[in-house]
Structure 1
Amino acid sequence: MESPSQITKRNEKNSIINGVASTIVMSMSNNYFALFAIGVLGATNYQVGLISSLPQIIGMFAMILGTVIMSRLQEKKRFTGLSILFTRLFLLGMFLVIYLPEEYRAWTFVILIGLMNLPGSFAMLSWQSFIGDLISDSRRSGFFSERNRILTIAGMITTLLIGIGLQWFDKSNPLPYQILFILAFLFGIAEVIYLNRHIEPKKEIVPGKKRLNFGWDAYKHKPFIYFLICGLFFNFAWQLAWPLFNIYNIKVAHMTGFWISIITVANQLGQIISFKWWGRMADKHSNGKMLAVTAVGMASAPFLTILSKNMYYLTFVNFTSGLFVSGTVLLLFNQLLEVTKEENRGSFIAQYNILLAIIGFIAPQVGVYLLQLSSIEIAMNLAAVLRLFSGAVFLLFYFYMKKQYNISNKVAIQRS
């Protein structure tokens, strides 16, 4: 019989290996979706925008259904594993896209990416709730900063190797992308295997709560509502520029697969060297305060990108952006867990992700619409301004959380 500390160590080890496999899958597939769509399938700007937004709207409906399913699960591991497996099966469909008639290829690829997020959203929702139950509050900043650092190293190495390999092929050649999709599927199998090696305590369902639960109880918790407002506004500003970066890098700066890999590696390198620092700063200053800092840092990326088409300059910009991306990823997740209640954490996470999916659908479309109305420079600068403003919003959230903490402390002292 293993002790709780031994179980925790085993779960943390399996979580890291599972995460490495997942990162490799993403590095071999998602990183090159836009390049494959534009360079091989001849996708339009509108279709490139849908690559970012369509998965989000499908994910929204998946989250609603996932909330109901999660509320009735005693164990989340099996459901999470099956969701990941079905998500990775779509990679096989992407391998076959090139064999369709030319006029159907781009749209089929976009639709596959969208539909893939149905089981993908189940997987994300259940994994967040699953891992939140297994990792204690005291371990979160330290463990997740180290886990994210290792995962980013794995992604960086994978991306660098892919970038070197893509140099041997013409950018319109589908073969290297087909190879990547098959390899990604195989690593997806490994991802499921190590997910299933976690040890999960079985939770009893309270008899009075067997009714369908859509997660509305989350909106009774004020700290969650305030975080929701801040997080959604920031994500709108953040994701507004996603398709713009793809369009600028590929159509304006004329990046090849090699340079896409290089700027991705530079971004990941920035994340690797800063993950632990953000974890320490979060422990020292709180997640909310540091989120304001990351939002301001993220505002620099769209503005700096459009200043030059020089590949070495853009590589440097992506490196500096990575310094803040690491903080954004770590702090948003930690802050989400901080404002949720343990007994119904799944409801909180589901409601956040449902609304996040709506934002994820709207923001890229707004970005592409702004591009069509004006220019890439104006659209990117507007995204930078919105990101900067979101820093002020997070600062207000920090002061609110600090006030709530002081009030709870006073009440505790009076009762004692």
Structure 2
Amino acid sequence: MQYPLEIVKKNKRYSIINGAHSMIMNTYSSFLALYAIHILHANHQQVGLLNSLAAVVSLVTTIVGGYWFSQLELKKRFCGFSILFARIALLLFALIPYIPIYQAWILVILVGLMNIPASLANLSWQSLMGDLIPEKERGKFFSYRNQILTIVGMIATATVGVILNLFDKDNPVPYQGLFIITFIFGVLEAYYLFKHIELKEYSSKGTVEKDSLIVAMKKMWQTKPFLFFLISSILFNFGWQMAWPLFNIYQIEYVHASAFWLSLFTVANQLSQILTYKWWGRMADRFGNSMMLFVASVGMATVPFLTVLSKNLYYLVFTNFWSGVSLSGTTLLLFNQLLAVSSEKSRSSYITLYTIFIGFVGFIAPQVGVWILSIFGMNAAMDLSALIRLLGGVAFILVAFRVEQQRHKPLKDKSITQ
């Protein structure tokens, strides 16, 4: 059951405003590794844990809260308060330099704890959007939304990079100011989430099965579109996420990039996303999500390999621009495909299952990347990441050619009996 057109329009507007504040809030993440290495003197293991510990906390939180969340009739209040609790951690980040010992470990722990409410917020937001935005409009709307949000994020990141570059790299004060300002935008993010219109009579809760998470786990093996999408995503995300700490270490320790250059890398990445979001949406409508996920993932597979070819800062700006082309398609199509392969009756449960599996990958993959770095070096670690991403892309293309065809075959038979 779909919301009336006027309500859908209002929710789209609030979603864009909410997302814009979220992008400005998330500006801190582009400089968190710089803060950890230069201010808190984090080692490679701790940089890796900034990703992996956050992922395992999200995994446990999702497992514990997934069933309870799937039974919520209305999701807006839960999502909004989860956002607020997650953003409080930004204020705590600013206090770490005043603690005399274990500063890097405290940051790692706070990032992990921050992801308890953040993971619940993400889980509930995905399901909420599945209720509020009609399926036929999601591809066009989210490509447009992502384009606007990327422009906002690009401007915010460039501004922060220029300001941070005015200070000595070992000065904690500008980072502390950044955390306080982004916390304020996090509060505004929650405020505009609360302004969304959510009504009981249009909630998917009425069609959700009792014990839906358990039922979904049992049905997952028979639900071929979801199962094969999940397997492909696990493989691709392993290759994707194992390189996250490697990029930070390479850019900061190997290339010695300043905050200004890190912001340029991010801006180049976001600019290419702006230029390609609509193209990915059009191509997905024409060729299908799975087919275009293959194309996007092949592009993502080239990024780690290209990055380590040179330490030239201008060249790395180019590689980040190239990365954004594929990243825009990956983020858009993964989300749309997840909604497409999740049945409406059990959408919350399938999203929960997906989050659990990808969260487990997010815990292991960054640590594997750092471990390979310590034994075989940066080039080997990046090349392996590229190979696994490519295998994930091959898995997506198999889904496109085989699973989706099988999924459409029974529709003709069912139409005869209806």
Normalised by the length of structure 1, the TM-score is 0.96
- C-alpha distance in 2, partners of 1:300/1:211? 42
Structure 1 residue 85 corresponds to structure 2 residue 84 = yes
1:117-128 matched pairs, under 5 angstroms = 117-128=115-126
Q: Which residue of 2 aligns with 1:99?
A: 98
**Count of matched residue positions in the alignment of Structure 1 and Structure 2:** 412
Q: Contact between 2:90 and 2:179, CA under 8 Å: does it hold in 1?
A: yes
Listed one character per residue, the Cα deviations across residues 186-229 of structure 1 (whole Å, up to 9, x for unaligned) are 00110011001111121485699555845525514221111110
Contact 2:79 2:121 in 1 (8 A): yes
Instruction: Provide closer, same or farther for how the CA distance between residues 154 and 218 of structure 1 changes in structure 2, counting only shifts above 3 A.
Output: farther
Counterpart residue identity of residue 401, structure 1 = V
Report the Cα distance in structure 2 between the residues aligned to 1:209 and 1:310, rounded to whole angstroms: 55
Deviation at 1:15, TM superposition (A): 0.3
Give the residue type in structure 2 aligned to 1:287.
N
Look up the equivalent residue of 1:113 and give its one-letter code. V
Instruction: Pick the aligned partner of 1:370 from 362, 369, 372.
Output: 372
Greater alpha carbon shift after TM alignment, 392-401 vs 201-210: 201-210
Residue of structure 2 equivalent to 1:50: 49
Structure-to-structure mapping, 1:341-352, within 5 angstroms: 341-352=343-354
Q: Quick one: distance in 2 between partners of 1:207 and 1:80?
A: 20
| 2:41 maps to amino acid | G
Paired with 1:15 and 1:212, the residues of 2 have a C-alpha distance of 27
Q: 1:400 Cα shift?
A: 2.1
What amino acid sits opposite 2:151 in the alignment?
I
Q: Which residue of 1 aligns with 2:127?
A: 129
User: What residue in structure 2 maps to residue 16 of structure 1?
Assistant: 16
Give % identity: 50
Q: 1:70 to 1:188 in 2, by over 3 A?
A: same
Q: Aligned pair 1:200/2:201, yes or no?
A: no
Distance 2:266 2:208 in 1: 49
Residue of structure 1 equivalent to 2:229: 227
Matched residue, 1:146: 144
Tell me by how many angstroms 1:277 deviates: 0.3
Relative to structure 2, which stretch is displaced further, 218-227 or 373-382? 218-227
Aligned 8 A contact 2:225 2:404 in 1: no
State the shift of 1:72 in Å.
Answer: 2.3
- Which amino acid counterpart does residue 82 of structure 1 have in structure 2? F
Matched, 1:76 2:84: no
Q: Would you say the 8 A contact 1:218–1:224 is kept in 2?
A: no
What does residue 186 of structure 1 align with? 184
Per the alignment, in what secondary structure is the counterpart of residue 48 of structure 2? helix
Give the alignment of 1:353-364 within 5 angstroms: 353-364=355-366
Taking the TM superposition and a 5 Å limit, the aligned residue runs for 1:251-262 are 251-262=253-264
Task: Describe the superposition over 1:75-119 as per-residue Cα deviations: whole angstroms up to 9, x where unpaired.
Answer: 100000010000001111111111101x31111011101110000
Deviation at 1:69, TM superposition (A): 2.0
Residue 217 of structure 2 corresponds to 216
Query: Is the Cα contact below 8 Å between 1:217 and 1:347 reproduced in 2?
Result: no
Counterparts in 2 of 1:273-288, with a 5 A limit?
273-288=275-290
Equivalent position SS for 1:299: helix
Give, in angstroms, the shift of residue 404 of structure 1. Answer: 2.1
Alpha-carbon distance in structure 1 between the residues aligned to 2:90 and 2:97 = 13
Q: In structure 1, how many angstroms separate the alpha carbons of the residues matched to 2:395 and 2:158? A: 36
Alignment of 1:103-118 (within 5 A): 103-118=101-116
- Aligned partners of 1:36 and 1:218: how far apart in 2? 45
Q: Corresponding residue for 2:340?
A: 338
Q: What is the alpha-carbon distance in structure 2 between the residues aligned to residue 217 and residue 195 of structure 1?
A: 33
Unmatched 5+ residue regions in structure 2? none
Q: Specify the code of the residue in structure 2 equivalent to 1:408.
A: P
Separation of aligned partners in 1, 2:212 and 2:340: 25
Distance 1:313 1:212 in 2: 50
Take 1:365 and 1:377, find their aligned partners in 2: how far apart are those partners?
A: 16
Offset of residue 393 of structure 1: 0.9
TM-superposed CA distance for 1:66, in Å, is: 2.4
Q: State the one-letter code of the partner of 2:298.
A: V
Which one-letter code corresponds to 1:19 in the other structure? Answer: G
Q: 1:210 to 1:162 in 2, by over 3 A?
A: same
Q: Which amino acid aligns with 1:144?
A: F
For the residues of structure 2 that align with 1:204 and 1:301, how far apart are their CA atoms? 39
The CA deviation at 1:413 is 5.5
User: 1:65 deviation in Å?
Assistant: 2.1
What SS is found at the alignment partner of 1:117? helix
Q: Which runs of 5+ in 1 are unaligned?
A: none
d(CA) in 2 for partners of 1:51, 1:204: 35
- Which TM-score applies when normalising by structure 2? 0.95
Once the two structures are TM-superposed, the CA of residue 310 in structure 1 deviates from its matched residue by 0.7
Matched residue, 1:295: 297
Q: 1:309 aligns with which of 311, 315, 335?
A: 311
What letter matches 2:68 in structure 1?
Answer: I
Q: Aligned in 2, Cα 1:180/1:31: closer, same or farther, shift over 3 Å?
A: same
CA distance in 2, matches of 1:256, 1:293: 33
Shift of 1:286: 0.3
2:64 aligned with 1:65: yes
Relative distance call for 1:204 and 1:341 in structure 2 (3 A) is closer
Describe the superposition over 1:361-398 as per-residue Cα deviations: whole angstroms up to 9, x where unpaired. Answer: 10000000000111101111111111112111111011
